[in-house]
Amino acid sequence: MPSTWWTIDRTEILRKLLAIGVSFSGIAAELGEGVTRNMVCGKIHRMEFTGPGTYRRRTDEQIEATKRAKSERRNERRRSQRVTVVRVPVNLEALRCVEVIPLGKTLLELGPNECRYPFGDNAPYSFCGHPQFEGSSYCGGHFGLTARRGQS
């Protein structure tokens, strides 16, 4: 439909039918000429119709109040979803000091069946290098540090 389809007369008919409580599809049928329910919904939305016989635009204060209320609800939701993370200092040296003294091999020096447990906090890293525990990438001592409970 061309944009000039909604004339002042048709808009007045729309307003009157809406004021007496006719449904959107009923208004579309009453206006005829290929008018769809969606066209009626769109026109009423653009008119910002708020109730029987009236239509008005929201004031800037109402718009700001709505924005503030949405922001407060969003902030409250975020506050309720916050998780407190407690960091417990862990002595990494104590974890790495099992009864195994690392051989300090580089990755290129490691053989196919040597423990790949890393040592060092920054590159270049060194690796344990002792013989691997069967079915693991680590030696027996380091396997105990890395195995999950329930696994052997």
Q: How far, in Å, are 23, 104, 122 from residue 110 at the CA level?
A: 80, 10, 19
pLDDT band at 79 (very low <50, low <70, confident <90, very high): confident
Choose among 69, 61, 62, 25: nearest CA to 44.
25
Say whether 127 sits in a helix, a strand or coil: strand
The domain ranges of the chain are: 3-55, 92-152
Range with lowest mean pLDDT among 26-30, 78-82, 145-149: 145-149
Provide the pLDDT for residue 74: 92
DSSP state of 23: -
- The mean pLDDT of the chain is 79
- When comparing pLDDT for 89 and 102, which is higher? 102
